[in-house]
A = this chain, B = another copy of it.
Amino acid sequence: MASKPNAIVAQSGGPTTVINASACGVIQQAMKSGKIGKVIGAINGILGVLKEDLFDISAEKPETIEALKQTPAAAIGSCRYKLKSLEESKADFQRVLDVFKAQNIRYFFYAGGNDSMDTADKVNKLAAEAGYELVCMGIPKTVDNDLAYTDHCPGYPSVAKYVATCAAEAGKDTEALYTTDTCTILEVMGRNAGWIAAATGLAARSPEDAPHLVYMPEAAFSFDKLVGDVREVLGRLGRVFIVAGEGLKDKNGKYVTADSGAFAKDSFGHIQLGGVAEMLKAVIEKEVGIKARFNKLGTNQRAAMHFASATDVREAYMCGKMAVTYALKGVNGKMVTLVRAKGRDYKCSTGLAELRDVANGEKKVPRDFINDKGNHITKAMRDYLRPLVQGQAKITVGKDGVPEFMRFKRKPLNKKLPNYL
């Protein structure tokens, strides 16, 4: 009797607080389905597939798998290795299929953003052409919340809750010490979409509350505008708390950090995003003549399990679980989406979108979520966000007062193919 087909789970791109919850949903649902042999983890995403660096997740302890729900980042390992078109990355795509065949993998669950959905779509096409029976399912993941066809992306609600809390807290600090530290800039992630910056607006319940200014890549930014905005808030409150998305752009859509010496490039010559806070600080100190300081949460914002959204963890798990449920029902080539029910009470279920549509789509903050001045959010944004950040995710705090996270043992699968990469 032929053994049951195996399933592979891979995580891709920048980690989130809940991508492990999605993995947990896939693993637990696959293991209890009775229709799947091993659940295999691809160490460091598609790199693990290419290198045949795989491990048997189903051999891990059940409590380790359960603890995925309480562990941030990507426990199976992630990477930023990008496969291009089927022609340009032909050898890579063929290798993926060869590894799947060698390991009897018939289900491919891939959690990631646009690029990952693109990869999953192309692997799926190649398998179909080759007559290899394979089901490819995408699971949405990105703190940036910029995937189309889904109401929101797992990972976003948690970063939203955390950065809004950070803005409220650091805002209190600025309010307390404004006679010295008059301006604070909180830099948050978001290269092309301002969803994370927008989320901090939730903390501004009154005009006195931080943040007073929220800059998102979707609204054209200029330093003249910044200086004017800062002066206006200073005149009113004597202090100013600013949130800046890392990818602010001018009216021509050019990154404002791209042309500025020290901030422009990283050591590899790439344009280095994330220098926006330093730049705003320098401009405000010079032009407005007040002391400014900045907080840059960096990867801490996308890893803040200790104050993650319980709603997010639940929905991320649901996405993983439903990916398996759909796959076993014969669905193929789709990404699971989150669908918000119409009506006053928040209800969220799952739907499906074509992998290739998601790969080609992008969802920015709608214009009506941003105020007319382009420096804060509107009620529409608040209404969108509020249900997503409800509840605090469960964590386990150790005897040392610090949260405890799991780590897989990663029992390696025997390699069946020659080395690659």
Contacts and interface: CB of A to CB of B under 8 A. Distances in A.
A15 B173 contact: yes
A307 B300 CA distance: 14
B400 A382 contact: yes
A103 interface: no
Contact of A400 (B74, B80, B386): B386
A366 interface: no
A333 to B, nearest CB: 27
| Among A14, A382, A401: residue with most chain B CB under 10 A | A401
Nearest to A74: B176
Contact of A176 (B73, B274, B304): B73
B172 A72 contact: yes
Given A176-B73, A401-B202, A169 B79 contact: no
A116 to B, nearest CB: 14
Contacts of A303: 169-170, 172-173
Interface string A196-238: 0000001101001000000000000000000000000000000
A302 interface: yes
Contacts of A186: 300
A297 B307 CA distance: 16
Interface string A387-409: 01111100001111111010100
Interface string A331-363: 000000000000000000000000000000000
A15 B172 CA distance: 9
A105 interface: no
A287 to B, nearest CB: 10
Interface stretch (A31-39, A119-127, A260-268): A260-268
A165 B72 contact: no
Interface in A32-90: 44, 47, 71-75, 77-81
A291 interface: yes
A305 interface: yes
Q: List the number of copies, as a whole number.
A: 2
Interface stretch (A131-139, A177-185, A316-324): A177-185
A22 interface: no
A152 interface: no
A177 B205 CA distance: 36
Nearest to A386: B400
Nearest to A206: B407
A298 interface: yes
A10 to B, nearest CB: 12
Contacts of A15: 172-173, 176-177
A299 B170 CA distance: 6
Nearest to A200: B402
B208 A174 contact: no
A249 to B, nearest CB: 21
Given A166-B300, A401-B161, A175 B73 contact: yes
Nearest to A175: B73
Interface in A370-421: 382, 386, 388-392, 397-403, 405, 407
Contact of A294 (B184, B298, B392, B403): B298
A180 B267 contact: no
A302 B267 contact: no
Interface in A244-290: 262, 266-268, 274, 282, 285-286
| Among A74, A161, A168: residue with most chain B CB under 10 A | A168
A11 interface: yes
Contact of A72 (B173, B293, B296, B400): B173
A192 interface: no
22 contacts: A44-B179, A47-B179, A72-B169, A73-B172, A73-B177, A78-B176, A79-B180, A80-B180, A161-B402, A164-B402, A172-B303, A181-B299, A202-B400, A205-B398, A205-B400, A208-B407, A262-B262, A267-B285, A268-B285, A296-B296, A309-B401, A389-B402
Instruction: Enumerate the 6 nearest inter-chain pairs by beta-carbon distance, A residue then B residue, closest first.
Output: A295-B298, A389-B401, A267-B285, A74-B176, A73-B172, A169-B303
